[in-house]
Amino acid sequence: MRSLDEMIQRVSIRSAADILPAAQALHKECSRWLPGWWFVPTPNIASKAPMVDGDGNILVLSVFGFSEETEQSWEESRIALHSPLHRACRYESEPFWANEQGFHTAQHNPYLDDIDTSNFEKRAQCPAAVAIPIHLPFGVIGALFFGPKDPEKLDLSAEFAEHSDELSVYAHRLIAGYQKVMRKRQWLPANCQLTKREVECLRWASIGKTDKEISIILSRSHATVRFHIQNAGEKLDAVNRSQTIFKAGQLGYLGLAA
């Protein structure tokens, strides 16, 4: 049996040439633990672009055993918007499993309680599945989805308890490496450091406060607030206030307090 460290190295991606063998290693390990299950690695749940190897071959077809018809159903843009699995990945960073009866996590997440799971099979493209969300820098969310091919098997609690934690380590290494290798453009400035005042002003602006309202909240002049937001925008190479807030959020400056 391979050690954890050895398996982590086998699924690591440092160049485009590593993508195919890393995906094959993950699928082999997953299939050994969970025979008769399907697996879909997704590098970005907001994008319909499939995960591909260095030659552009779609991995769910060449490695994970999907047909073109099934693959296309998983890559439709509407699944990212309407699937309860994808929606839950936006609110949860730990593995979970779900079916039409709801979501099951190691630690209760009240946000998942409010997600509609009616008509689950049609909207999620499966009757039940495990999801491992992969929250990455710059607001990207990847995931590994997997579930039984047997449509009658709806209780995944035993398999979830036994395998989800270790598979989350492998999935994170694979998808994080894939994103670094395949990223073609630098959308955000490197080494950008905002000041405490700039972050304070942007946090209030991000929840809809005007410059005048922020000046009252922080006991600063209207001009001072405007200066801090404009200065942050220059650092973030943003063209307007909205993009300044968006980029600051992608870099993690505007995380909501507990």
Q: For 122-168, what is each residue's pLDDT tens digit? A: 999 999 999 999 999 988 999 999 999 999 999 999 999 999 999 99
| DSSP per residue, 167-231 | HHHHHHHHHHHHHHHH-----S-TT----HHHHHHHHHHHTT--HHHHHHHHT--HHHHHHHHHH
Distance between CA 88 and CA 112 in Å, rounded?
Answer: 6
Q: For 160-197, what is each residue's pLDDT tens digit? A: 999 999 999 999 999 999 999 998 777 788 889 999 99
Q: Is 201's pLDDT higher than 90?
A: yes
Which phi-psi region, left, alpha or beta, contains residue 98 (left: φ > 0; alpha: ψ -120 to 50)? beta
Q: Percentage of the chain surpassing pLDDT 70?
A: 94
Q: Is 76's pLDDT higher than 80?
A: no
Q: Is 80's pLDDT higher than 80?
A: no
Q: Percentage of the chain surpassing pLDDT 90?
A: 83
**pLDDT, mean over the chain:** 92
Residue type, 53: D
Among 51, 33, 52, 15, smallest CA distance to 163 is for: 33
| DSSP SS3 for 240 | coil
Q: Mean pLDDT across the stretch 60-86?
A: 77
196-206 vs 241-250: helix crossing angle, rounded to 10: 110
Domains and CATH numbers, the chain: 4-182 (3.30.450.80), 196-250 (1.10.10.10)
